[in-house]
Structure 1
Amino acid sequence: MAQIHFSVKGLIIKDKKFLVLHKVSPRCEYFDLPGGKMKNNESAEETLQREILEETSLLIKPISVLHQWDFVNQDYLIMGIIYLCQPLTEEIQLSEEHDYYEWIPLNEESIQSLTPSLANAMSHLNLDNVKTIN
C-alpha cells in the first residue's frame, strides 16, 4: 500500500517574479516551489511558514490558497496545496537541501521549468490575477 503525504508549497512573488529552488541532485532537471510535508498537529499555514523558513530563511505571510496539486508513484502519493505568499523578509539563505534559487518571471513559459506536477497545477491559474494580488 502506498503512503499518503500532505504537502504545501508557497508561490512567493516579488516584483512580478516568483521564487524557485533547485534541489541538490544530479538528476534534478526541474525547479520546485519552497515548501514541504506536514508534520503531526500542524496546520497547513504553520507547515508552509516552517518549511519556507527552513529552506530559505524567509519569513512569509500566507495570503490565499491558489490551487491543489498531487504527485503519484508506486510508493507514495503526495497531495498538496499551493499558497500565494507575501515575503516579510528579503535575505535568502538556502538549506543544504537546495543548491541555488532564482526569481523567475511569473508567466506560462517559466511555469514549465517547475516539476511536472506543479507546472500542471499552476497552468490552471490566471497568472494576470495572481500578479495583481501581491
Structure 2
Amino acid sequence: MHPLKKFEYCPVCGDRHFENNSEKSKKCENCGFELFGNPSAAVAAFILNEKNELLVEERAKNPAKGTLDLPGGFADINETAEEAIKREVKEETGLEIESVSYLYSLPNLYHYSDMDINTLDIFFRCRVKDESVLHPGDDAKACKWVSITELRPEQFGLESVSRAIRKFIASRNVFF
C-alpha cells in the first residue's frame, strides 16, 4: 500500500477532504496543506577485506528476515548520508569506518508496517579501521565475509541490494 493511502484526514486541520493531488501528493481542500510521498534516504556499505571478500549480513528482522544484506539502514533526521553509513555500520557490525566513497544510488520499495515505503538507497564503498572487531548487532543476525566469486544476488532479500550486488559484480573493476 502506498504510504499516502494511510492518510484519510488532513494531518494539519483534520478535515476529511484530504484528496489525491498527484501521484506524489495529497492536498487538503480546507486548509491547503499538501503532503508529499517523497522517498526516505537509506544507505548501504560495500566493505571489502584484504582477501577481496565482501562483508554481508544475515537479516535478523523483517522485511526479508534470514536473507543476506549489506550493512546499512535509514538516515536519521539532520544526518548526512555519510554520517548515516558510519553509524549504521558501527551499530550492525561493530566496525568503525575510516573512509567513505559514494558509488551509486537505486530506488527501492521497502515493505514495512503494511505499506510500501519508497526509499532512495545510497551505496558507498567503505574502508574500516580494524576488521578483527566484527560482531553482529542491531538488525544483523550474523556477519560474514564472502568471496566475490561466491556472491549470489538472489540471496539478498531486498530488491535494491540485490540489484546493487549485480551491479557490483558486473563493474567491480570500475568502483574498486
Q: Same fold (TM over 0.5)?
A: yes
In 1, the alpha carbon distance for the partners of 2:105 and 2:149 equals 19
**Which AA in structure 2 matches 1:97?**
D
TM-score normalised by L of structure 1: 0.83
What are the ranges of 5 or more consecutive residues in structure 1 without an aligned counterpart? Answer: none
Contact 1:104 1:110 in 2 (8 A): no
The structure with higher relative contact order (CA 8 Å, sep 6+) is 1
Partner amino acid for 1:28? K
Pair 1:64–1:48, CA change in 2 (3 A) = same
Amino acid at match of 1:129: V
SS of 2:90's equivalent in the other structure is: helix
Query: In angstroms, what is the RMSD of aligned CA positions?
Result: 2.2
75, 79, 84: which one aligns with 1:47: 84
Aligned twin of 1:94: 136
Question: Shift of residue 41 of structure 1?
Answer: 1.0
- For 1:43-81, what per-residue CA distance to the aligned partner results, in whole angstroms no more than 9, with x for missing partners? 111000011111111001333211212222543111111
- Check whether the contact 2:121–2:160 (CA below 8 A) recurs between aligned residues: no
Give the aligned length: 131
Residue 122 of structure 1 deviates from its aligned partner by 3.1
- Say if 2:54 and 2:146, in contact at 8 Å, map to a contact too: yes
Query: Does the C-alpha gap of structure 1 residues 108 and 65 become closer, same or farther in structure 2, counting only changes over 3 Å?
Result: farther
Q: Max radius of gyration: which structure? A: 2
TM-score under structure 2 length normalisation: 0.65
Give the conservation status (yes or no) of the 8 Å contact 1:61–1:85: yes
TM-superposed deviation, 1:20: 0.6
> Structure 2: where are the runs of 5+ without partners?
5-36
